[in-house]
C-alpha cells in the first residue's frame, strides 16, 4: 500500500519531481522535530494522453519541504520555496514558463490525504480530467474510498492544454 506522500507526489507533484519527496523523507519517531529537506531536481519527462498533444515537463528550479512526524499517522508536510518549470507542447514547440512555488500543506487522513494549496500550484489528475495551473486557495482531498475532490476558493485556474494549444 502506498503512503500518502506517494499518492501526493504521484498525483500532485508528478509533473516536476516532487515524487522525490517520498524517497527523501527518513522516518522519524512520533513527536520528533520537523525535518527540512531540499527536493532533488527531477529529469524532464513527457506527459502523454492528457492533452491532444504530448507535453514535455522540465523543472527549472528546486523546492523544499518541511516534514513532521514522517512515517506516523500524524505525518504532515509543507512544500514551499521557489519552484519553476517549463511546459512545452511537443507538436508545436510552444512553451510556458510557470511558477509553481505554492506553498502547499499536506496532512494524512484515514485513507488518503488533504492538501491545501495557496499561491501557484500545478494539478495533474487525469481521473478528473484536470491538468491546470492555479493560484489562490485550492483544497485537494484524496481517499481510497471516494477518490479525488478539488475545491477552489478564489484565484485563477488555467488549463495547461488550452494554454499550450
Closest CA to 110 of 140, 141, 79: 141
For residue 99, is pLDDT > 90? Answer: yes
For residue 60, is pLDDT > 50? Answer: yes
Say what the pLDDT of residue 157 is: 96
Per-residue pLDDT band at 142 (split at 50, 70, 90):
very high
Distance CA 120, CA 133 (A): 7
For residue 3, is pLDDT > 60? Answer: no
Q: What are phi and psi of 48, to 5 degrees?
A: -115, 145
- Asked whether the beta carbons of 20 and 39 are under 8 A apart, the reply is yes
* CA 18 to each of CA 86, 91, 110, 125, 154: distance values in angstroms, whole numbers, following the listed order: 15, 26, 22, 15, 25
Question: What is the percent of the chain with per-residue pLDDT over 90, rounded to a whole number?
Answer: 50
Both ends of the chain: CA-CA distance in Å? Answer: 37
C-alpha cell at 3: 503512503
Say what the pLDDT of residue 148 is: 94
DSSP 111-139: TEEEEEE-SSEEEEEGGGTEEEEE-SEEE
pTM: 0.75
Per-residue pLDDT band at 35 (split at 50, 70, 90):
confident
For residue 70, is pLDDT > 90? Answer: no
Say what the pLDDT of residue 32 is: 58
- What's CA 163's distance to the chain center, in Å? 19
Closest CA to 57 of 18, 82, 91, 88: 88
Average pLDDT over the chain, rounded to whole? 79
For residue 87, is pLDDT > 80? Answer: yes
Amino acid at each position: 500500500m502506498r503512503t500518502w506522500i506517494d499518492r501526493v507526489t504521484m498525483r500532485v507533484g508528478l509533473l516536476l519531481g516532487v515524487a522525490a519527496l517520498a524517497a527523501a523523507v527518513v522516518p522519524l519517531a512520533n513527536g520528533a522535530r520537523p525535518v527540512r529537506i531540499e527536493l532533488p531536481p527531477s529529469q524532464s519527462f513527457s506527459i502523454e494522453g492528457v492533452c491532444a498533444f504530448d507535453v514535455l515537463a522540465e523543472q527549472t528550479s528546486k523546492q523544499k519541504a518541511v516534514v513532521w512526524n514522517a512515517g506516523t499517522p500524524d505525518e504532515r508536510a509543507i512544500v514551499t520555496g521557489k519552484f519553476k518549470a517549463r511546459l512545452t507542447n511537443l507538436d508545436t514547440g510552444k512553451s510556458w514558463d510557470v511558477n509553481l512555488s505554492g506553498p502547499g500543506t499536506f496532512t494524512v487522513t484515514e485513507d488518503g490525504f488533504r492538501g491545501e494549496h495557496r499561491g501557484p500550484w500545478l494539478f495533474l489528475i487525469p481521473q478528473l480530467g484536470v491538468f491546470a495551473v492555479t493560484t489562490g486557495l485550492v483544497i485537494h482531498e484524496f481517499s481510497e474510498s471516494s477518490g479525488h475532490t478539488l475545491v477552489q476558493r478564489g484565484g485563477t485556474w488555467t488549463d495547461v492544454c488550452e494554454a499550450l494549444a
